[in-house]
Each structure stands twice: as structure tokens, then as C-alpha cells.
Amino acid sequence: MIEGHKEIDAPAGVPVWDVDPYDSAILAGPTDYYAELRSKGPFAYIPRYSVLACGRYDETKEVFSDWERFVSSRGVGLQDFSLEEPWRPPSIVLEKDPPDHTRARAVIERALSTRAVRQLGESFRQDAESLIDGLLEKGVFEAVEDLAETYPTTVFPNAVGLQEGDRRRLVDYGSMVFNALGPDNEIRRDAMARGPDVVPWIMEQCQRERLKPEGFGAMIYAAAETGEITEEEAGLLVRSLLSAGVDTTVTVLGSAIWCLANNPDQFERLKADPKMALWAFEEILRYTSPVHSFCRTANLDTEVSGIKIAEGTKILCVLGSANLDEDHYPKADRFDIDRRPSDHLALGVGIHGCVGQNVARAEADAVLTAIANKVGSIELAGEPVWRPNNSVHTLDRLPVIFRGK
Ligand code: OVV
């Protein structure tokens, strides 16, 4: 066993690459690592973790979307749940395959449907406008803390129907869940150390009695009422909302500001046509890949692009690299909102594709539209600092200046 999964040999034709994808410097600045990974071929064997890494667009998409060969039920991190007990009861959507996955997915999909999310649009817009007004008054601010963390931790718990409370814990729980998918390194251990404080609080918020009668949470519990899922499953689906709904949107909003500050021409383009906000969002996703990597596990002996893959092999799907593949996106290293990438892998692909994407889009649309309408220029007020995380490519600090129009 190595990091909780079966040790494998490098398959024939796959280069051995002595790299640590979870090294803090690589996690903070992954671009060169991505390029080198793609240059190795469809796969590289990383001996330190005994995994196959893939980072070209085509193979990453193939592995990531083929749930029959490359399963999620053995965990989407380095650990193989068929060999080792996970740190928490597995998610009944993320960490399940059909047929188990299908029922849970239908319920959470309904709760987060376009219709359900559309009703939130107006309050999302109002919250975004008052947030941006406040930041314009400040002028200089910390975009991670004052914008990226503030917005989702305000609007998302309301949308779920959580009680008022210490919403900082949502960010801490997200950090645990995403870092837990990596190896047993210092980053993971630091995040997990917050568990005793955070996990019971999260589980408490997932209880039916704690949730307001309106919101995604109540909609999920409505499916327990009709017997579609059990009450316990409903609680676990609310836990999924709290696991995946905060860090991801915090990350993408921070990266959005980073992209616009570094590409003033693109910000001009957005200001000239605020309706481009949603395409800007897709390009931000492609360009920065908030979730940089997730794993799959080969559930049988199989083959991809002529490479033989043995049952039990963990495949590190490097989404951040696939989204920068020049063979798929010409001038991939350029941030260009007119690219309109509708096939990036940042939200996954196939049956496990991000079920919260309507909510993420509504949040990003509200914030980017408010910025396009109100802000004249965005400038960095210091060096951006990235925060190493085993699954999420996220900023730690982003000092910024907003000037009005
Ligand atoms: C980290 C993550 C992503 C997506 C879903 C979940 C967690 C979950 O807990 O269901």
C-alpha cells in the first residue's frame, strides 16, 4: 500500500517522473508542472505516490467521464476506499457509482435546478452590488478575505437555509474535505487538525430541524418525505452542499479578480459588454481550474491511448493541466473572454459533473456584473500569494485597488 492504495508498476510505454505534485511550490504555481506533465505523453508514472498522472485534454476527459472503468466509489483522492477506511462516511454523490449514485444525484440535482437557482438571482444581485459598493468606498482591500470569502459565505448559507452562525467554519470544513483527497502531508494534517471543532458543527447544520423551511436543504429533505431517499441520506446530501459549495466559489471569485487585474484589456471588454460576465466566468474556470486535480480508480484491467492500466490503479486527473492543453485550446496561456470555452474540464464532465454549477454561475454572474457596472479599474496593490491545497488552486492573499467609474 502507498497513500492508502495498491502499489503498481509503471505500465509499458509510460515514463517515470520523479515529481511531487503535492509539493507546496508546485501547488502554489503549477503552470510549469502542468506543461511538463503534458510533454510526457498521455500518462506519467509518479513513483512517490504510485499513481498515473494525466494532464492532456483528451485522456483526462476520457478517464474522468468513463464512470464504468474509472470509478469514484473507491475515492476521488489518493486513498482507495476498498482498501482503507476514509476519514468520514463517503459522500453519497461524489464517492459513489451508479446505481447508488443515480438516486442521490437526482435529488440534489433537483434542489439545485435552474429553476430553484433563478429564484435567488435578485437577492444574489443585491448582495453583490452592496458588496462592490462597500469595496469601492474602501478603495484598497484584500480581495480574498473582503470579497472572495465574504460573498459565498454570505449568500450560500442563506440559499441552503442554514441558521446564522460562525460561517468561517464552512471555509475550514471545505479545506478539510479538499485537502483530505491528497497525500498525508503537512497541508492535509494542518487542515484535518481543525476537525474536532468543525466536523460536529457541520453535521449539526445538516439536521432537518436546523434548516429553514425554504432553501436547498429543505428541498433535499422533501425527498426524504416522499421516500425517495432516507432522512440520513438527506443529511448527507446537505453535507455535500456544505463540502463542495463554499471553497470552490471562494476560489473562483478570488481567481476572477486576479484574472481581471492582470488583464486590463479583458476587463475593458467586460465593462463594455457586461453580458459577457458568464463567458468571462467560463474562461476564468478554464484558465485557473479551481479544482486542479481529482483521482479516479481503474476498476478493471483496461487500456487508454494504447497504455495498459491495471485494476486498482489510481489515476491523478490533472484538470488544471488539461484546461491549458495547447492541442485543445490554441494560445491556451492567454486569458481571453471571447474564447467562450464551453468544454473545459474545470467542472468535470459526465455523470459526476459539478451539480452546483448553476449556483456557482449565479454567484459569479452577480459579482462580475456588479463589478463591470460599477468599477472603473482593478489594480494589484501587492504581490498575489497562492495557498497550497491538495485539490484546489486558490489564492491566499490578493491586495487590490478598485477605482470607481
Ligand atoms: C470535495 C467535494 C466535491 C464534490 C462533492 C463533495 C465533496 C461531497 O461531499 O459530496
Q: Which atom of ligand 1 is nearest to the CA of 237?
A: 10
Residue with cell 442554514: 162
- Closest residue by Cα to residue 48 from 77, 20, 83, 27: 20
Within a domain: residue 18? no
Within a domain: residue 1? no
Output the CA 95–ligand 1 centroid distance in Å.
Answer: 8
Q: Is the Cβ atom of 94 under 6 angstroms away from ligand 1?
A: yes
Q: Would you call the peptide bond into 157 cis, given omega within 30 degrees of 0 as the criterion?
A: no
CB 175 within 8 Å of CB 191: yes
β-pair partners for 395: 386
Output the CA 242–ligand 1 centroid distance in Å.
Answer: 8
> What would you report as the CA-atom Rg of the chain, rounded to the nearest whole angstrom?
21
- Name which residue sits closest to atom 4 of ligand 1, judged by CA: 244
Q: Is the Cβ atom of 313 under 6 angstroms away from ligand 1?
A: no
Within a domain: residue 2? no
Q: What domain count does the chain have?
A: 1
Q: Is the Cβ atom of 285 under 6 angstroms away from ligand 1?
A: no
Output the CA 112–ligand 1 centroid distance in Å.
Answer: 14
Within a domain: residue 388? yes
Question: Residue type at 183?
Answer: P
Q: Is the Cβ atom of 248 under 6 angstroms away from ligand 1?
A: no
Within a domain: residue 10? no
Within a domain: residue 125? yes
- Name which residue sits closest to atom 2 of ligand 1, judged by CA: 244
Q: Domain limits at 129?
A: 24-404
Per-residue pLDDT of the chain in tens (405 residues, 90 and over written 9)? 999 999 999 999 999 999 999 999 999 999 999 999 999 999 999 999 999 999 999 999 999 999 999 999 999 999 999 999 999 999 999 999 999 999 999 999 999 999 999 999 999 999 999 999 999 999 999 999 999 999 999 999 999 999 988 888 999 999 999 999 999 999 999 999 999 999 999 999 999 999 999 999 999 999 999 999 999 999 999 999 999 999 999 999 999 999 999 999 999 999 999 999 999 999 999 999 999 999 999 999 999 999 999 999 999 999 999 999 999 999 999 999 999 999 999 999 999 999 999 999 999 999 999 999 999 999 999 999 999 999 999 999 999 999 999
Q: Is the Cβ atom of 389 under 6 angstroms away from ligand 1?
A: no
Within a domain: residue 5? no
Which CATH number does the domain housing residue 130 bear? Answer: 1.10.630.10
Within a domain: residue 212? yes
